[in-house]
Amino acid sequence: MTEIIVFLSGKGNNWAYVKKLVNDFKWDKVIIVTDDFRNEMLDLKSDAEIISINPELSLVDMADDLKDKLEGEINGIEVALNFVSGRGKEHMALVSAVLKLGLAVRFIALKPGGVEEI
């Protein structure tokens, strides 16, 4: 299908949604960006790559850090994103990082019968 990056808040909010999104559909690669890594996140998808960010960084520094961490991780020219979990600051940093890498973005959401681009 494609590669997907999801943001997952360490607070556990929306974990069931993210788990269904990453586990129930065929993705070429899953990258989970989180502000508070915990071992339970590995239950979401065993082969997912987990990228931890420091929520105390400024927005600009967080975007630069994410860009550095994502460099070379996406094989295609576009990536699917989902932001059901997390805060606006992290979402902005991730979109900035992905766009600075020259990637196209598709926003993906769950719907009753599968996933849908929004």
Q: What is the pLDDT of residues 39-67, one digit of tens each?
A: 566 566 668 888 989 989 999 999 999 99
Q: How confident is the model at residue 5 (pLDDT cuts 50, 70, 90)?
A: very high
Number of domains in the chain: 1
For residue 10, pLDDT beyond 80: no
Compute CA distances 87 → 24, 71, 76, 78, whole Å: 24, 23, 26, 23
**Domain CATH code at residue 50:** 3.40.50.2000
Residue 42's Cα: distance from chain center in Å? 14
Range of the domain at 22: 3-117
Which residues partner with 51 through β-bridges?
33
Q: Quick check: pTM over 0.85?
A: yes
| H-run or E-run covering 29 | strand 29-34
